[in-house]
């Protein structure tokens, strides 16, 4: 007899492998085609000097990431049964990717680093996020999505009513832009996104084992409310599979995007990844864990906010040598590979610590 935990693990692994294989294959075919079409990266004039050698590297590789996520999502729809929530998450991923593609294509066509204006990008992001939020508000989880948010570690539901709609819009827009800012070094965005995306299905798997153990020992302390303690962390196949698909797509892309990168994901990839991660977190009601698991995304976004605020309020004075944060460390003497390794390691450590704390809390409750 197959245990639920083993079944979940197999579903997660298969979804990851499908996304990895499709993304790797599409990326491999994309590189020469993008070179023929001259869709290459134009390096910013104020970028660190070490980035000059990257001039001419194909961009818009995020198309392969989107293909991998969609392919894995379709696999889940076929093997686990049609799920409208999953379809909406897939569409949102593709939608954010389309915004990034328009931005990337505009830059390539004009042969400069200015695509859509910030206002245009923000308006499109808000429109997509609002559509997603209204769907989940009215129809998510078969109409049972609710109006509550889950407070981590206290594991209580807080009903915020209709405010759940702007709340979801903010999460999607903020996460998408934070991931987008992280995309600046070879393998940085893909590596950190893979780590964050793997954290949630691993946590779901751990939650599943704990719940099964408590059900098998009904007299164990806390057995009656273990599902509340782990509220929001779904052990359903499809949310786990969608997270795994994101991770698999990132890993497949990393084969060609690690230093020295043969291809860049561009805004096509970074916006799609940000949208996918945020949509999955909202679906599983785990979005308040994102600032911890995705600590690098938060730090990158904060560095830009602090830099811009300081420049405007302190008459041109800067806090960092350059923002986002990864460029500050580059200009401080760190090699690109060192920055990427340290930032990815910090993400893994943050996710591991969060996982450990939550599992220990579950056992001790």
- 13-64 pLDDT, tens digit per residue, is 999 999 999 999 999 999 999 988 888 766 665 566 666 677 789 999 999 9
Report the pLDDT averaged over residues 236-260.
91
157 beta partners? 150
Q: What is the mean pLDDT of residues 160-167?
A: 97
Strand partners, 148: 159
pLDDT the model gives residue 223: 39
Higher pLDDT, 7 or 178: 178
The residues, ordered by sequence, that sit 6+ positions from 79 with a Cβ below 8 Å of its Cβ are 11
- Domain assignment present for residue 306? The answer is no
- Is the pLDDT at 306 greater than 50? The verdict is yes
For residue 295, being part of any structural domain is answered with no
Average pLDDT over residues 200-210: 70
**Residue 360 binned pLDDT confidence (cut-offs 50, 70, 90):** confident
Within a domain: 336: no
Which residue in 181, 203, 189, 214 sits closest to 328, CA to CA?
A: 181
How sure is the predictor about 170, in pLDDT bands with cuts at 50, 70 and 90? very high
Does residue 315 lie in a domain region?
A: no
* pTM for this prediction: 0.91
Can you give the pLDDT at residue 53?
Answer: 73
Q: Does residue 152 sit within a domain?
A: yes
What confidence tier does 355 reach under pLDDT thresholds 50, 70, 90?
confident
SS3 of 150, please?
Answer: strand
Q: Are 177 and 201 in contact (CB under 8 A)?
A: no
How crowded is residue 65: how many other Cβ atoms within 10 Å of its Cβ? 32
Look at residue 365 in the predicted model and tell me its pLDDT. Answer: 64
The whole domain housing 138 covers 4-287
Distance (Å, rounded) from C-alpha 160 to C-alpha 309? 31
Structural element, H or E, at residue 159 = strand 156-159
Does residue 292 fall inside a structural domain?
no
**Which 8-state DSSP code applies to residue 261?**
P
CB 89 within 8 A of CB 283: yes
The total domain count for the chain is 1
Rounded Cα distance, 136 and 165, in Å: 9
Give the position of tokens 């832009």: 177
């Amino acid at each position: 007899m197959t245990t639920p935990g083993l079944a979940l693990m197999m579903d997660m692994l298969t979804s990851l492998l499908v996304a990895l294989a499709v993304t790797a294959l599409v990326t491999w075919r994309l590189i020469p085609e993008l070179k023929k079409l001259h869709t290459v990266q134009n390096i910013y004039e104020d970028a660190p000097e070490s980035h000059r050698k990257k001039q001419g590297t194909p961009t818009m590789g995020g198309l392969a990431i989107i293909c991998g996520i969609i392919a894995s999502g379709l696999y889940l729809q076929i093997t686990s049964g049609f799920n409208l929530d999953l379809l909406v998450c897939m569409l949102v991923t593709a939608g954010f990717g389309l915004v990034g593609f328009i931005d990337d294509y505009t830059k390539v066509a004009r042969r400069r680093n200015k695509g859509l204006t910030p206002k245009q990008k923000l308006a499109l992001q808000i429109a997509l996020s609002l559509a997603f939020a209204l769907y989940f508000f009215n129809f998510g989880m078969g109409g049972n999505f609710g109006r509550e948010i889950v407070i981590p570690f206290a594991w209580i539901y807080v009903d915020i009513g209709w405010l759940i709609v702007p709340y979801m819009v903010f999460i999607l827009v903020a996460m998408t832009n934070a991931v987008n800012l992280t995309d600046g070094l070879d393998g940085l965005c893909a590596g950190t996104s893979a780590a964050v995306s793997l954290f949630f299905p691993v946590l779901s798997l751990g939650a599943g084992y704990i719940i099964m153990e408590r059900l098998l020992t009904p007299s164990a302390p806390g057995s009656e409310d273990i599902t509340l303690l782990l509220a929001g962390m779904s052990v359903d196949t499809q949310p786990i599979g969608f997270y795994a698909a994101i991770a698999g797509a990132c890993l497949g892309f990393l084969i060609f995007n690690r230093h020295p990168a043969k291809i860049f994901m561009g805004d096509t990839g970074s916006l799609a990844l940000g949208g996918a991660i945020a949509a999955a977190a909202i679906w599983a009601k785990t979005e308040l864990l994102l600032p911890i698991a995705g600590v690098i995304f938060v730090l990158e976004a904060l560095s830009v906010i602090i830099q811009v605020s300081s420049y405007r309020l302190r008459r041109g004075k800067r806090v960092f040598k350059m923002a986002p944060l990864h460029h500050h460390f580059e200009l401080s003497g760190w090699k690109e590979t060192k920055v990427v390794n340290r930032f990815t390691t910090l993400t893994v450590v943050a996710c591991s610590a969060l996982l450990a704390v939550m599992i220990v809390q579950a056992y001790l409750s």
